[in-house]
Structure 1
Amino acid sequence: MTHLDPKAVFVPCVLLLWCFTLVISIAGDYEILLRVKNAQIDDPHGNLHDWVPNKDHNPCNWTGITCDPKQLAVISINLSGFGIFGGFPSGFCRIHTLQNLSLASNNINGTLSSESLSLCSHLQLLSLSNNLLVGRLPEFPPEFSQLQVLDLSLNNFSGDIPDSFGRFPALKVLTLSSNLLSGQIPAFLGNLSELTRFELAINPFKPGPLPPEIGNLTKLENLFVPTANLVGSIPESIGNLVLLKNLDLSDNDLSGRIPESIGGLRSVEQIELFGNQLSGELPESFANLSALTNLDLSLNRLTGKLPNKIAAMSIGSLNLNDNFFEGEIPESLASNPNLWELKLFNNSFSGTLPENLGQNSDLENFDVSTNKFTGELPKYLCFRKKLQNIIAFDNRFSGNLPSTLSECSSLAYVRIQNNELSGEVPVNFWGLPLLYFLQMDGNRFRGSVSPSISSARNLSTLLISGNNFSGEFPNSICRLHELVTLQVSRNQFSGDIPFCITELKKLQKLRMEENLFSGKIPSSVSSWTDLTELNLSRNQLSGEIPPGLGDLPVLNYLDISGNSITGEIPVELTKLKLNQFNLSDNKLYGKVPSGFDQDLFVSSLLGNPNLCSPDLKPIPPCQKSKRESFYALIVLSICVVLLLASSLCYFRTKSNAFGGKSKKLHKVTTFQRIGFNEEDVISSLTDENIIGSGGSGRVYRVNLKTGQTVAVKKLWEGCRKPDTESIFRSEVDTLGRIRHGNIVKLLFSCSGEECRILGFEFMENGSLGDALHDERSVSLLDWPKRFTIAVGAAQGLAYLHHDCVPAIVHRDVKSNNILLDEEFRARVADFGLAKTLQLDAEVAEGHCVMSRVAGSYGYIAPEYAYTLKVTEKSDVYSFGVVLLELITGKWPTDSSFGDNMDIVKWVTEAALSSSQVEKDGVCGFKDLDRIVDPMMNPSEWDYREIEKVMHVALLCTSAFPINRPSMRRVVELLLKDAKLSCSK
């Protein structure tokens, strides 16, 4: 009988048992993944289409899954950017071999609790960046000893950083940027001795210092804390970070001197300290930073001269703008072989620039504007043919433009205005192939514009006013089909204006005033559909005014005064909505068209001796022939009799309409095709026709004789509303120039000495506020109607913010200013407080600063009340309140909320105090029934959509503006076909 070797039996058995264990393990992972997909997340885009049962029970080939080939176990789940919805899927952590879980850039919502994290203590990487998480940061259990990467950035976490965040022994990356964290940066974060990357940027922390304990993080390579309300000085301990490569403390309120210890950052490659209150001179220790390539100290209060040692460093990008530096630039700066960007603007530097600047490096960006530099521009700026931008305006540069720049084929952007540059511009400079912006006004250049300019096919802006250019303006300008702005005023150009200039279809501004142009105004102007400004004044032009100018849809600035223009004023010009209008000092004749026969236009018509008007003084009255006078006398006699008979009735009517005072309407403007008589409108403004009353006036329902019904707003008069004129102008200026299906149409406006009225399309179902809060109407608003209203209003606001140039901020978004037509489609209305975001004296750093808080209580964004800064995000917050109003059916300041509570706080607390649950097959918040308006009686599908809209509303009402989505993004989120799944 043969005896078996025990080893021969034992080893195969062990291997078989091991394989069986692996099969069991991977099958368990397979079951967990399927369970989580079906119960905890929603995949609207089908990115997890291959997560389906298979006969092998093996998920290792599924999308986003990585397995260990030896252990046959899932070690990584990466679903970043898949667009999945739901709460935090903690079920994934039941896979005990899982090391990395990345769910970044999705729509993960709700809170992140300690309980949901309790299963995940074996993770080495957890990334939930760029989701919709809210509430406080969770306390991490002590078991998280293996965690190396924690990324919770770009969410809406609020409150303090918990103590447990200082107890991660292995943590190398901590990223909490772009949240709503409001405590101070805690000192215990200095205990994370293994950190290499530390990011706390863009949080509304309570003002406080950068803790000195930061110096304990000696392995740190990236310290990123801009826009975090840092105050005080930069701690001396910063010099301990000998491995640091990137230091960014920009856009805070740090003050005091830059510490000498900064020279200890011997590995640092980039230092960003711009946008603080740092003062004093630069420390000499900067010269020790041999690896430094980018240094940005702009927007501080630094003083003194630029030290030779720092100028001699091999820095690639040097930004010192907006400080108080003075003195000359050291010659050693020109010897730097790595210098590619030099920005010194808004200082008090003086003297000449180093002659060899640019000869030894690949200089790309050069900005020395607003200083006191003299002498010539360095001739080697484009020596390496890499220069893209020259910005040197507001200095005292003199001499010729360097001829070497005519060979600078890389040059795209030039601003050298307001200097003392002279001579002729090199011929080839005009035609640089990549040039798109050229501004040279306010110098002493002479000569002509070369025909070679036709080669600058990308040129969109040409500003050369205020020089001594002469000769004929070249026809080759007409080949620049990207040209948007052309300003050549205050020169000595002569000859005809090129007739082909009307072929420039993108042209918006054309200014050629104060030259010697002669001939006629080009007549074929129909292609100028984008032209807003035309100024040809003070030239030697002749001929007639082209009637086609009156058909230009957006022209609002027309000045052709001070020429020798003849003929009659084309009646077509009266169709224009003009902010600036001047035909004075020409040779025009004939009768002034009725549209200009108003005192408002007198100064624009003077200096034309042969013009006549029956009403305007000092313009002479039009002469009548004897036959006309005879017939006029007969007609006048008849009219006198009729007038005497009707005058009493007329004045009684006027007295009833306006409290006993006659108010002549001296300007009537129509914006849509509508037939009406202003007197018929006025007579209908009686108490029985009132349909609404608000802060700016009363609204009346008026039935026109054409059968059309319109809504007429009569603004409050006199001392009752002293800013009536500004409200009137705002509505006219805003609604008169925009067209959108979700913005109410302005039909006409009338203004008089004491009266301002506006006519709008009539909305059958009134305002959303009335429909929501009137017992007689609210029953008509089921959820589908409310959702349609929400989307329509969002699309209207998105048009104002993103499609209007300049952008328009409504400033008073509320349910009463959203009107509903006969099919309950939304129209955004009431633009009395609207403002445009444009670069003028009213604007600072991208936002308008208002003289007072505008808007309605309960809808005003929290930052607006104390900063008076208007941005689009103010409207986004107000729209979020409207969304909550649609869901709850409650006013924003409903008394049922209790003291010191508004709808945002009430809904947020109700939503975040409860976890998500399955109820009757519907996923939602436990207390959603308490939040939702009971008048809707929503269905199962409605609840899913309501929850989605509520999450959008909470995003819109984030306390920190940077975390609110744009209105364009809001529209996308509302229209997404998404079901929010519950987390277990």
Structure 2
Amino acid sequence: MDVSLGLSVSTLALVLLMRPPFPSIFVESSSLSNITDQEALLSFKTLITSDPSDVLSSWNDSTTVCQWSRVLCNNKRRVSTLDLKGLGLSGSISPHIGNLSALQFLYLQDNHFTGDLPDQLGNLARLQILNASSNLIGGAIPPNISKCSNLNTLDLALNTIYGKIPTDLGLLSELRVLKLGQNLLTGNIPPSIGNLSSLTTLNLGTNNLSGPIPSDLGRLQNLQELQISVNKLTGTVPPVLYNISSLETFAFASNELHGEFPSDLGFRLPKLLVFHFCFNKFTGQYPPSLHNITKIQSIRMSHNFLVGSVPPGLGTLHDLIMYNIGFNFFVSSGSSGLDLITSLTNSSKLAYLAIDENHLEGVIPDSVGNLSTSLSKLYMGGNRIYGSIPASIGKLTKLTLLNMSHNLISGEIPAEIGRLKELRILGLAGNKLLGEIPAAFGNLSMLIHLELYGNELEGTIPATFSEFQKLLSLDLSTNRLNGSIPREPFTLTSLNSLMNLSNNFLTGPLPDDIGGLENLIALDLSNNLLSGKISDSIGNCRSMEVLSMSDNSFTGLIPNTIGNLKGLQSLDLSSNKLSGSIPESMGKLRSLQFLNLSLNNLEGEIPNEGIFLNLSAVHLEGNPKLCMSSLCPHSSSRNISKALLVILVASAAFVLFLLVVLYWVFFIRKKQIDAKVTTADSIKAQHRVVSYEELHRATENFDPRYLIGTGSFGSVYKGVLRDGMTAAIKVLNLATSGAWKSFVAECEALRNARHRNLVKLVTLCSSLDFGNNDFLALVYEFMGNGSLEDWIRGRRRHEGGGGLSVIERLTVAIDVASAMDYLHNDCEAQVVHCDLKPSNVLLDEEMTAKVGDFGLAKLLLDKPEGQDSTTSTNRLRGSIGYIPPEYGFGGKPSTKGDVYSFGVLLLELLTAKSPTDEGFEGGLNLEKWVRAAFPSHTMEVTDANLIVNVIGYEGRQISPEKQAECLVSMVGVGLSCAIESAEARITIRDAFHQLKGIKKTLLKPHAATRA
């Protein structure tokens, strides 16, 4: 052996023996990192306030971190996975989680975490999956999360996260799944999301996102799910999105989008499974190529403005589960107009079918019974369906909802419906059904809602109704039912909403079992032939809020037990044969808002407390033996107090006016072709008359292209009359209940009204159409700048793209207040609008605001606040969100109610927030939300786009600070109008003058500039 080699080997061996082994260095470094992970998780545990499963009990110093429950480590003993999903944990997420530098997978979903997402999440450079969905996490999305460069899944859905989507999310180049749905996010969708080329799932649904859809999303060519439903997006769908051929879910439902669908949509999106575009403003035709996607599972296009017919090809969609095209303008004609039902019998998985509220005509085919055995909901109401209901309907045994209301269906109700034992909701109202109610209905023991009103049903109420032990509401009104009311309906203790048997021919006494309706809120037995005494047991109906027994032949005393109904808000016992005195207990009903005891045989003293102190809320006319308190001489019934005389005089005027209106309406209903016998003569004398032919031509046969709006009682078209005048033509849908009343109300309200801020009624048309059907239309001046709602929602903007400025919104508010002040205080007959909201305020070419749509308006006999209106009808009037609270308690239309609606309108104008916004839950509403921020945080709730460059006095620019002051003052006016208490509200004249003062202050120069 070579000596030098031996020496070298010895030397090397000595060196190796003298140095520490390599593994000891690794263990030392690994242990240090392991301790860091352990400390981070222990810190995380300290912020957990509840651990129902006691899973985190293993997190302690007695074991190593890699042995802890729900913790996984990598081969270097570093924490790589933290899986805490579904443990019901409460608490907040510790910032120390950012110290888990080797973490790759973080699962926190399905817990009760609160607080914000910590910024330190951005330190997790190796993180691939972050799922914190289904918690209560708030705050904003930390921008630092964009530093997690390896992230491929970010799921924060189902939380309360607010603020804007960070633009920097577009830096996450590896991201495949982005779910931010069901939060409180605001602002626009960042175009930078279009940079996420690997994205397969994008879910931003159910937020408050606004603005247009960025066309940059069209670059996401791997996208399979695009879900942005339930937001406030505006504009059109960028055409490039229809080119993402990989899309399987395409959902933009419940936004404010418009435009037309491309006809070749089905060819460009061949993999589509879900197509949801309902609750938008889409127009045009149903895309026929949609039926070429044979694997599609869900089509929802309801609540749009789509026209034309449903194209053929539905029979090829074998995998269809949901099909909803309701609330559009689809048409069909002839007895075979519902052949689409036959086509859908090939869809063996169909569970939901809705074709309601269209213009579909035809007979229900027998094939309806061959629809999917999985079908649970079938909506067909609000069309032009005629003929009878086929007995085959009884084969759909899985149905839980069947709605065929408001059609032209005739014949008898098939007993086979009794086979639908899973049925919970049955609606056959508003048709021409004949015969008796089948006794087989008693088999529908699961029913919770039954609506048969507005038909021609005869016979008695079946005793088998006793089987409806889960029924919540029952409406059999406006039929020809006869005989006595059986006791069975009154034994249904589940009834907690409505029992309406009014407008029938029911006879005999009221069963004593009425006291069994302990949970019922509203009972209407009016306009029947009922007789006998009102049972004392009615005092057991302690949940009752509305009770009407008017227009019957009840005799005897008013039960004193009515005083037990502490929540009663409306009571109508008028037009009976009741005698005796008014129970004193009635004056102690503090919730009572409306009381009608007129046209009976009551006598004695009128109570002097409670509702009896408000003469406008009480009707006692037609009881000559009643008198006021101590002024009533018991020896003579002829001496009536002065207060009662006032009531009688007002009542006589009311009855006289009602007779005039009824006389007028009667002749309108009976009008013939000869214009001389129409009831609109008095109005026609003041306005030029147009014919049906002229309006038909002006709108090109009422082509949907000219449709500019729809309402409760008709549709509005744009048309050019013979003299070249552009007009808005409101065509009444006479098949809609209340359309005639709406016509009368609108004519009466505007007959003598003249004001620059009221939409001008040019003329009307009362004629027959080409099919000899009654035709009614109101012709108004055309308002070129649309509705105020369009401007608030951003559907209309100025040429430069801007919305309404502060000064423009203030001017609009002043215009509306001016119109309402005129109607309330200066009009020949005081008018209450009853439906003031942004969609009923229109803007002309000069941006002058004008109030329109008087279809719910009321004329008041006298101008003093709170005086009786021209009718005793006590129905809720207005639109949800704008209806004053007192109307919900039976209060009559009043100027105070209009003031409330104006206040809500003004707050909406300034915040761009609808009073029906989904974010208002648990008693919160627009007024409360704004009031909570007023005045110091007012700018946080007003529309962020409000303050722009505004020019004031002598061309000087108005500063943002001055505009902000103006906004606060305007919000104050809105809050003063929208107070819950009617008595506490300011008048519309007060609001008008305050707003004018604000404008004067806004436009005048500062003291410093006057020099």
Q: Which residue of 230, 240, 244 maps to 2:244? A: 240
| 1:44 alignment counterpart | 49
| 2:619 alignment counterpart | 604
Shift of 1:873: 4.1
CA distance in 1, matches of 2:389, 2:559: 45
Matched, 1:439 2:439: no
Is the Cα–Cα contact under 8 Å of residues 344 and 371 in structure 2 kept in the other structure?
A: no
| 2:91 alignment counterpart | 84
Name the amino acid aligned to 2:38: Y
| 1:471 alignment counterpart | 483
Is the Cα–Cα contact under 8 Å of residues 146 and 170 in structure 1 kept in the other structure?
A: yes
Shift of 1:854: 5.9
Q: Which residue of 321, 327, 330 maps to 1:325? A: 330
CA distance in 2, matches of 1:614, 1:480: 41
CA distance in 2, matches of 1:111, 1:899: 37
Matched, 1:396 2:398: no
CA distance in 2, matches of 1:466, 1:516: 13
Name the amino acid aligned to 2:929: Y
Shift of 1:205: 4.3
Q: Which residue of 422, 425, 437 maps to 1:413? A: 425
Is the Cα–Cα contact under 8 Å of residues 159 and 183 in structure 1 kept in the other structure?
A: yes
| 2:64 alignment counterpart | 58
Shift of 1:417: 1.0
Shift of 1:458: 0.6
Task: Give SS of 2:48's match.
Answer: coil
Post-superposition Cα deviations, 1:7-51, rounded to whole Å, max 9, x if no partner, equal xx9xx988888777765553442133224555xxx3333678846
Q: Which residue of 903, 921, 926 maps to 1:874? A: 926
1:448-487 alignment runs, 5 A limit: 448-484=460-496, 485-487=498-500
Task: Give SS of 2:178's match.
Answer: strand
CA distance in 1, matches of 2:934, 2:325: 45
| 2:311 alignment counterpart | 307
- After superposition, the Cα gap between the structure-2 partners of 1:602 and 1:267, relative to the gap in structure 1 and judged at 3 Å, is closer
Q: Which residue of 31, 35, 39 maps to 2:39? A: 31
CA distance in 2, matches of 1:310, 1:436: 33
Is the Cα–Cα contact under 8 Å of residues 187 and 213 in structure 1 kept in the other structure?
A: yes
Post-superposition Cα deviations, 1:907-934, rounded to whole Å, max 9, x if no partner, equal xxxxxxxxxxxxxxxxxxxxxxxxxxxx
CA distance in 1, matches of 2:348, 2:479: 37
Comparing 575-584 with 175-184, greater Cα deviation is found at 175-184
| 2:356 alignment counterpart | 345
Unaligned runs of 5+ in 2: 1-9, 648-820, 835-862, 867-875, 938-959, 969-1011
Shift of 1:365: 0.6
Identity %: 24
| 1:526 alignment counterpart | 539
Normalising by the residue count of structure 1, what TM-score does the alignment of the two structures yield?
A: 0.61
Matched, 1:354 2:377: no
- After superposition, the Cα gap between the structure-2 partners of 1:862 and 1:119, relative to the gap in structure 1 and judged at 3 Å, is farther
Name the amino acid aligned to 1:417: A
CA distance in 2, matches of 1:532, 1:156: 40
Name the amino acid aligned to 1:604: H
Is the Cα–Cα contact under 8 Å of residues 365 and 387 in structure 1 kept in the other structure?
A: yes
Task: Give SS of 2:563's match.
Answer: helix
Name the amino acid aligned to 2:390: P
CA distance in 2, matches of 1:166, 1:305: 42
| 2:202 alignment counterpart | 198
Task: Give SS of 1:421's match.
Answer: strand
Is the Cα–Cα contact under 8 Å of residues 359 and 384 in structure 2 kept in the other structure?
A: yes
Task: Give SS of 2:310's match.
Answer: coil
CA distance in 2, matches of 1:288, 1:265: 10
CA distance in 1, matches of 2:432, 2:881: 44
Q: Which residue of 256, 268, 271 maps to 2:272? A: 268
Name the amino acid aligned to 2:622: G
Comparing 362-371 with 256-265, greater Cα deviation is found at 256-265
CA distance in 2, matches of 1:428, 1:864: 54
Shift of 1:297: 0.2
- After superposition, the Cα gap between the structure-2 partners of 1:139 and 1:296, relative to the gap in structure 1 and judged at 3 Å, is same
| 2:215 alignment counterpart | 211
1:884-963 alignment runs, 5 A limit: none
Is the Cα–Cα contact under 8 Å of residues 193 and 216 in structure 2 kept in the other structure?
A: no
1:584-733 alignment runs, 5 A limit: 584-595=598-609, 600=615, 604-608=619-623, 610-611=625-626, 622-623=634-635
Task: Give SS of 2:265's match.
Answer: helix
Task: Give SS of 1:445's match.
Answer: coil
CA distance in 2, matches of 1:862, 1:274: 26
- After superposition, the Cα gap between the structure-2 partners of 1:134 and 1:838, relative to the gap in structure 1 and judged at 3 Å, is farther
Matched, 1:166 2:170: yes
Alignment length (residue pairs): 687
Name the amino acid aligned to 1:503: G
| 2:838 alignment counterpart | none
Is the Cα–Cα contact under 8 Å of residues 279 and 301 in structure 1 kept in the other structure?
A: yes
- After superposition, the Cα gap between the structure-2 partners of 1:37 and 1:612, relative to the gap in structure 1 and judged at 3 Å, is closer
Name the amino acid aligned to 1:338: K
1:791-810 alignment runs, 5 A limit: none
Matched, 1:500 2:550: no
- After superposition, the Cα gap between the structure-2 partners of 1:94 and 1:232, relative to the gap in structure 1 and judged at 3 Å, is same
Q: Which is bigger in relative contact order (C-alpha 8 A, separation at least 6)?
A: 1
Unaligned runs of 5+ in 1: 630-662, 668-718, 731-752, 757-804, 812-831, 886-896, 906-984
Normalising by the residue count of structure 2, what TM-score does the alignment of the two structures yield?
A: 0.60
Shift of 1:408: 1.4
CA distance in 2, matches of 1:243, 1:475: 58
Name the amino acid aligned to 1:34: L
Task: Give SS of 1:452's match.
Answer: helix
Q: Which residue of 887, 903, 909 maps to 1:853? A: 903
Name the amino acid aligned to 1:149: T
Shift of 1:193: 2.5
Task: Give SS of 1:543's match.
Answer: strand
- After superposition, the Cα gap between the structure-2 partners of 1:469 and 1:76, relative to the gap in structure 1 and judged at 3 Å, is same
| 1:583 alignment counterpart | 597
Shift of 1:228: 4.6
Is the Cα–Cα contact under 8 Å of residues 908 and 915 in structure 2 kept in the other structure?
A: no
Is the Cα–Cα contact under 8 Å of residues 230 and 253 in structure 1 kept in the other structure?
A: yes
CA distance in 2, matches of 1:499, 1:464: 20
Shift of 1:537: 2.1
Name the amino acid aligned to 2:595: F
- After superposition, the Cα gap between the structure-2 partners of 1:431 and 1:589, relative to the gap in structure 1 and judged at 3 Å, is farther
Is the Cα–Cα contact under 8 Å of residues 90 and 120 in structure 1 kept in the other structure?
A: no
Is the Cα–Cα contact under 8 Å of residues 485 and 507 in structure 2 kept in the other structure?
A: yes
Post-superposition Cα deviations, 1:518-537, rounded to whole Å, max 9, x if no partner, equal 22111133311111222222
Name the amino acid aligned to 1:881: A
Shift of 1:359: 1.9
Name the amino acid aligned to 2:407: N
1:782-793 alignment runs, 5 A limit: none
- After superposition, the Cα gap between the structure-2 partners of 1:51 and 1:609, relative to the gap in structure 1 and judged at 3 Å, is closer
- After superposition, the Cα gap between the structure-2 partners of 1:610 and 1:226, relative to the gap in structure 1 and judged at 3 Å, is closer
CA distance in 2, matches of 1:414, 1:535: 25
- After superposition, the Cα gap between the structure-2 partners of 1:24 and 1:839, relative to the gap in structure 1 and judged at 3 Å, is farther
CA distance in 2, matches of 1:809, 1:384: 35
CA distance in 2, matches of 1:584, 1:899: 57
Post-superposition Cα deviations, 1:680-720, rounded to whole Å, max 9, x if no partner, equal xxxxxxxxxxxxxxxxxxxxxxxxxxxxxxxxxxxxxxx9x
